[in-house]
Homo-oligomer: A and B are copies of this chain.
């Protein structure tokens, strides 16, 4: 007999995936260049040439048995050393290879982090708006994801609600800054407040509360934005990083867990990740990708297009009278829909070939997400469609 819980999941299709499929199908009718597809967070700029060059060099020059051989279960030692050195140089935290565990993207990193610090029934808190995949990621471990309602004024955190929900059952707090879907970067003040509360509650409850910091958008920060390094504020931080967005290679599944060197039991945690891996069938990211990424740690793809796109979209939204907090990073923007039901709003937008994602599943009903990782030329054309849509459907602009 097949396991029912997975069978039951089959009927619930993600709204993002549905919209993305609509966009592809519509593209076959009118040409994909005419579909203003803001559904998916797939990077739209190429990987740095140095990555490609290093891949080709290794394939042509290195001994294939070594190159394609098993990685040690924690990751290739030289790669872990290079990542630790890069993090130390950048953030001034004395990471060593003992704190770095190589993982298959952020999803892989998070799956280890959740298992490190929660038993079935324990709670993990996160903040709306949030990445809806956190639900299966957490709930299928046996832990329980609880979502703090949003602070819609700023999309920073809702402090009173957080304090109330941070009960004794909470073993970890999961944050994502820069944030998918809001595009907001948590300020120094936010991180300070958040971690002060966590320290106080840890003491009160007599157990550690871990901060799991999901940071795949860390390198996509816009001009003048206060973007603090989360790990600096709280010793019991488990950083989960992915190179998917910074290097534009989401399909190659490469990231890492970085345990704060002052985290309690830090020396055991990476080895424990190695044990967790055995139970979930994760045996390191691919060797060749680990090695290639380690050569371009301090590089990124040319991420500037995302800020250009954001400014174009934000200015138009303002001109059209939308309510929207200006993003500080990522390639997402998160405006309020022009009617109460964002699903209805997004459905009407489809008539104009604008593919927008309603935010009910992100924990913020009434809002919608635009993933503007598309060509600027297309963004500009889409804004004409947006103007027509808003004028014809809502009499604005």
Stretch in A83-91, A272-280, A341-349, A387-395 touching the partner: A272-280
Q: Mark A1-43, 1 if CB is under 8 A from B, else 0.
A: 1110011011000000000000000000000000000000011
Q: Total interface residues on A, using CB and 8 Å?
A: 74
**8 Å CB interface, A97-149 against B:** 103-105, 107-112, 115-119, 133, 136-137, 139-141
Q: Mark A256-289, 1 if CB is under 8 A from B, else 0.
A: 0000000001001101100110111111111111
CB within 8 Å for A271 and B10 given contacts A69-B42, A70-B251: yes
Copies of this chain in its oligomeric complex: 2
- CB < 8 Å neighbour of A140 from B119, B278, B283, B287: B278
CB within 8 Å for A272 and B1 given contacts A59-B56, A108-B282: no
- CB < 8 Å neighbour of A112 from B105, B248, B281: B281
Assembled-state Cα–Cα distance A275/B10 (Å):
8
| Interface pair A10/B278, CB less than 8 Å apart | no
Q: At the interface, yes or no: A252 with Cβ under 8 Å from chain B?
A: yes
CB distance from A296 to the nearest CB of B (A): 13
| Interface pair A7/B56, CB less than 8 Å apart | no
CB within 8 Å for A287 and B252 given contacts A268-B7, A282-B104: yes
Q: At the interface, yes or no: A74 with Cβ under 8 Å from chain B?
A: no
Q: Which residues of A contact B (CB under 8 A)?
A: 1-3, 6-7, 9-10, 42-47, 52, 55-56, 59-60, 64-65, 67-71, 103-105, 107-112, 115-119, 133, 136-137, 139-141, 171, 207-208, 248-254, 265, 268-269, 271-272, 275-276, 278-289
